[in-house]
Amino acid sequence: MSHKTDVVVIGAGPVGLFAVFELGMLKMKCHVIDTLDFVGGQCSALYPEKPIYDIPAHPSISAQELIEKLEEQIKPFNTTYHLGQQVVSVHKNDDQSFDVVTSKNTKINAKAIIIAAGCGAFGPNRPPLENIEQFEGASVIYSIRDKSKLDGKDIIIAGGGDSAVDWAITLAETARSITIVHRRPKFRCAPESSSRLHQLAEEKKITIATPYQLGKLHGNNGILNSIDVVDFEGGIKNIKCDVLLPFFGLSMDLGPILDWNLNIEKKHISVASDSMKTSADGIYAIGDVATYQGKLKLILTGFSESALASHSIYSLVYPNQPLHFEYSTTKGIKSDEKV
């Protein structure tokens, strides 16, 4: 099928969805493409029940609830989604528009492209443990979609970043036991989260096992019963375990984007920080995939980048119309309106 629109947004995660809102507020139509067969990106695929603490006006909101709120916010713009497909080619025409073709042979003509692909095609990094595949799904879980299923379990969480620490804190009240395993005494998380983690450890609600690494899985028929953890001197500690939650980040693969002749730095796309423009005219990048000096990998940063890119794109879509900026307090659209 062939389509024509103002902007193609590649990526239906939170930053891509907010870009739809910003474009819509500036009267620009867009089509959204994502390799997953549902919207939400990493939030929905990997940690839908994970609490997020740094969204303005929300002391805490789950990743999936954030996605649902964003979908509600952009509902008036009647956006077209092309899910379960990947962009395979981009051709720039003489009139400076783009022809975008997907893996399902969907063809879209647009005046600009926003890449909001997060880490690109992503998946969890597996810990290098023998026979781990036997336990995946039942006892080794990379994405928590229903945290109630972990109630009363003996849980080992492996990792030292925000995801590991946040889940340890969240599950501490409902699990039978929580042990967080990390190879260093210091955790790579928000200072407040680290303080809360150590407070729960003092209250005997969490056990901190550092410096240790995962060693060997023990269990039968895909069900864990314990895990060996190993220190740097070869000492082994066996810990009772029903569920292992490994949080070692995501493997990143930008796929065909690597062939678009953009400036790539360590699998990230270099952009101008004041406009989110890439090295290719008409192509913009926002969210985790974009990099510039001083970049903070936060969802709220991606929201700001969505606004910058949308305002920059306006002149491409409406070259003869000056943009009269209005504050959000003077211009808004109700969720039941159509535009």
Share of the chain above pLDDT 70, in %: 92
Domain range 2-122+250-317, CATH class: alpha beta
Up-side HSE of residue 148: CA atoms within 13 Å toward CB? 0
Contacts of 305 (CB under 8 A, 6+ apart): 15, 276, 286, 287, 290
C-alpha 319/C-alpha 317 separation (Å) is 6
Q: In residues, how long is the chain?
A: 339
Q: Which helix (H) or strand (E) holds 123?
A: strand 121-124
Which residues are 55's β-sheet partners? 58
Range(s) within the chain of domains with CATH label 3.50.50.60: 2-122+250-317, 126-246
- Res 204 pLDDT > 70: yes
Structure confidence at residue 57 (pLDDT): 93
DSSP string, 13-62: SHHHHHHHHHHHHTT--EEEEESSSSS-HHHHHT-TT-EE--BTTBSSEE
Please report how the helices 63-74 and 14-25 are oriented relative to each other, as an axis angle in degrees rounded to 10. 20
C-alpha 25/C-alpha 257 separation (Å) is 28
Q: How confident is the model at residue 42 (pLDDT cuts 50, 70, 90)?
A: confident
Look at 110-114, 266-270, 290-294 and tell me which has the smallest mean pLDDT: 266-270
CB atoms within 10 A of CB 162: 17
Please state the three-class secondary structure of 235-292 as a single string.
CEEEEECCEEEECCCEEEECHHHHHCCCCEECCEEECCCCCCECCCCCEEECHHHEEC
Asked whether 211 and 180 are in contact (CB, 8 A), the reply is no
Residue type, 339: V
Structure tokens at 178: 């929580």
Domain range 126-246, CATH class: alpha beta
Look at 59-63, 164-168, 208-212, 331-335 and tell me which has the smallest mean pLDDT: 331-335
- Res 252 pLDDT > 80: no
Q: 169, 166, 148, 178: which is closest to 239 by C-alpha?
A: 178
Structure confidence at residue 290 (pLDDT): 94
Structure confidence at residue 329 (pLDDT): 53
Per the prediction, the chain carries an average pLDDT of 90
Asked whether 144 and 177 are in contact (CB, 8 A), the reply is no
Q: What is the DSSP letter of 98?
A: E
- Res 335 pLDDT > 80: no
Q: Is the pTM for the entire model greater than 0.85?
A: no
What does the pLDDT look like over 69-123, one tens digit per residue? Answer: 999 999 999 999 999 888 889 999 999 999 999 989 999 999 999 999 876 555 5
- Res 323 pLDDT > 80: yes
